[in-house]
Amino acid sequence: MTQAAATRSAAPPQEGSLCPRCAMQLRPDWNFCPTCSIPARPGKEVLSSQIQVLRTSGAALRPRTPAPLRWAAAGVAAALVIATGVVGFLVLSPGGASILIPEPADGGPGEGAPGGGAFRLDWIAVEGGPFRFGPPRDAGQRWSENLDIPAFEILRTEISNAQWREYLLDRREYLMSQGQWEASVPGYWTWTKDPEDPEGPREIPGFPAAEETLPVRGVSFLQAVDFCAWLRATARAPGARLPREDEWEKAARGRDGRTYPWGEGFEDEASIFGRVVRRNRAAVDAPKPMPVDVTATDVSPYGVLHMGGNVSEWTDLGLWNSGTEAGEWNRYRVIRGASFQEKTEDGAISARTWNNDFTMEGRFTSPLVGFRIARDARAAGAEGEPSSKEEAPGGGR
C-alpha cells in the first residue's frame, strides 16, 4: 500500500443515482446516502452530525397530508423497518460473525479505568507456537516460514477518539513540558474554550461530533509509544505496548495461513432491499472509518476486529530485530492493514494478512493510520482479569 493510493477517496454518488457502495437508490432531493453517508453533492463533505434531507422548492409547496393518513403511514413504515431489520440481519450477517456492540459487563469499569468510561479494554489471548508467517510460497517470497512466537494478548479493537482524548487531557502537563501538546492533537480535531475557564485563553481539543467511537488516526509511532507508557504508568493497562509485526500477523490470520482475517475473498454478495450487490468485507472505499467495535465481516479467527480495514495500524519490530541497534533501518516501522479511504482494488491488496509494503518513519503521521495495543501474556489469574480466549482454526491450544 502506498500513501498516494491511500489518499484516494470514494467517488460521491450522483443525484438520483445508485450509491456506488451499497447500490441504494438515491432520491434527487437527498444530500447523502443514508446507508453509507457518502455526500450526493460532489465536492461537499457531509459529516455524520450534519446529515439531512434537502428538499426542493417544489417539494416544499406540496399540500400537507392529513394527520390520520400521516399516522397510518408512520405505523406501516415502523412495521416495515422492524421487519426489514430482522430480515436484513439474517441475510447480511455471515456465518460465525455478528454485529458487535459494546456492553458494560455487570455495570463495572474496565481494567484500570476509574469509573469505566473510554477505557474499557477488551483483551484477546493469542496462544504461543508456530504459525504461517509471510505470503504463500508460490508468491516467490524467500521469507515465507513457520514462525514460532510466545503467547501474547492484543486489544480486540483499535484505539478510539475518546480514548485518545482521555490520554491527551490527563497527560497534558507532561506533553506541554516536552513541547508535544499541540502536535499530539490529530489534525481533524477542533479546539474550543475550556468550559472550566470560558473567559481565559486556554483551549482544549475535541474530536468531531458523534465520532467518539471512531478510531483515532493521524498519530505517529512515537506518540503511540507514549500512549502505551501512559497506560502503564496510570495502571490502566499494565504491560501495554504496540504489537510486534509478527504478533499482529498471527492475531489477524491465525495458524492456517489465510489470506484475509475472515478467510478468503475480499468481497461477498449481499441482498439489500431485494437487490443483490457486491460488498467489501473490510471497511475501505468510505468517507470515514467505522466505529472500532462494530463490524459484521472483518473479524479475525481470534475475534479481533478491523484488522483488514478501517484504519491502517502501526506495528513494532518483530522478534528477528533487536530494536537496539543504531541505524537508518531502526527509524521506520511497518504499517499493517488497509485504510478506509483506499479504493476496493487497493484495499484488497493492503488487507492481505501478510502485506507489509507500507512503512513510515516513526515520527511521521498519516490521516489514514491508527493503532491498537498489545502486551505479553500474563500468568493465569494475574490481576484478577480474565482475557477473552477464542479458538483459532488450525488446531487446539
Residues of the chain falling short of pLDDT 70: 1-118, 137-144, 269-274, 276-277, 319-329, 379-397
Q: Where are the domains of the chain?
A: 13-63, 105-163+211-389
Strands (DSSP E) along the chain, which ranges? Answer: 123-126, 129-133, 145-149, 152-155, 190-193, 203-206, 267-272, 275-280, 312-314, 332-336, 358-361, 369-370, 374-376, 388-389
Closest CA to 363 of 227, 242, 220, 216: 220
The per-residue pLDDT for 91 is 33
CA atoms within 13 A on the CB side of 325: 7
CB 125 within 8 A of CB 154: no
Task: State residue 388's pLDDT score.
Answer: 55
We find that the CATH architecture of domain 105-163+211-389 is Alpha-Beta Complex (3.90)
pLDDT in tens, 299-344: 999 999 999 999 999 999 876 554 555 555 578 999 999 999 999 9
